């Protein structure tokens, strides 16, 4: 894999978060795709010369949601519809390799799909336009509650830690980790944080540690 493609593989696509009620009202238009947010960690996997972007679940299952490179050449600048066609063409070979395609629908049914995902206990969905490159921000509507964050350091003399979004690096504020939890993390640890929603500045409102909070020490 070339250096440029390696750098693409480390690039997390950015998200613009909107309230769920707005998405349930507006996600019923043509021109894109809505994919389920699987509540895993962003990851990449190369299979038969194709580099896939996806989410790696805690149980080890990988869900592919995009194609980043083919035979060492980046396709991140291609429009999404072209990358998605390549991905769908490989569904059977991916299945044989133990990789699943992320659940999805065309955006005409996006609002209905989001409602179904939330009703089933899922985290939420993202909306992508067919003409978008890999670097174009996607629109995300997630259940108010859980964000996967990276610890950047301890707040001196307290049981709190500073956190950023594990995917985008956006500042999420800080969270108090009581009951010995603060001693279980360090700078770079990945944790799950619950909250009411995001403030205008991107901080988690009323953050607390989620159940099974520690993802990676």
Q: Where are the domains of the chain?
A: 3-142, 146-216
pLDDT averaged over every residue in the chain: 89
| 9 closest CA partner among 42, 57, 56, 58 | 42
Would the pTM count as exceeding 0.85?
no
3-142 falls under which CATH superfamily?
A: DNA ligase/mRNA capping enzyme (3.30.470.30)
User: In this structure, which topology does domain 146-216 adopt according to CATH?
Assistant: OB fold (Dihydrolipoamide Acetyltransferase, E2P) (2.40.50)
Compare 206 and 149 and report the one with higher pLDDT.
149
- Unique residue bearing structure tokens 């999805």: 104
What average pLDDT does range 42-50 have in this prediction? 93
Collapsing DSSP to helix, strand or coil, 6 comes out as: helix
What average pLDDT does range 162-170 have in this prediction? 93
Buried b (16+ CB within 10 A) or exposed e, 67-79: bbbbeeebbbebe
């Amino acid at each position: 894999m070339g250096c440029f493609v390696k750098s693409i593989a480390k690039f997390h696509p950015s998200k613009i978060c909107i309230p769920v009620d707005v998405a349930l009202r507006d996600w019923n238009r043509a021109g894109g795709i809505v994919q389920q947010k699987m509540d895993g960690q962003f990851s990449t996997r190369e299979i038969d010369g194709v580099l896939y972007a996806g989410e790696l679940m805690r149980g080890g299952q990988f869900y592919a949601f995009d194609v980043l490179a083919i035979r060492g050449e980046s396709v991140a600048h291609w429009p999404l519809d072209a990358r998605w066609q390549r991905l769908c063409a490989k569904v059977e070979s991916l299945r044989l390799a133990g990789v699943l395609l992320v659940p999805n629908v065309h955006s005409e049914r996006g609002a209905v799909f989001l409602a179904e995902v939330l009703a089933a206990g899922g985290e939420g969905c993202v909306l992508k336009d067919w003409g978008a490159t890999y670097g174009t921000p996607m629109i995300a509507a997630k259940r108010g509650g859980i964000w996967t964050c990276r610890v950047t350091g301890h707040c001196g003399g307290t049981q709190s830690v500073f956190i950023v979004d594990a995917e985008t690096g956006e500042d999420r504020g800080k969270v108090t980790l009581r009951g010995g939890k603060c001693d279980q993390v360090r700078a770079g640890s990945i944790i799950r944080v619950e909250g009411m929603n995001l403030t205008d500045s991107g901080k988690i409102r009323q953050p607390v540690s989620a159940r099974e909070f520690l993802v990676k020490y």
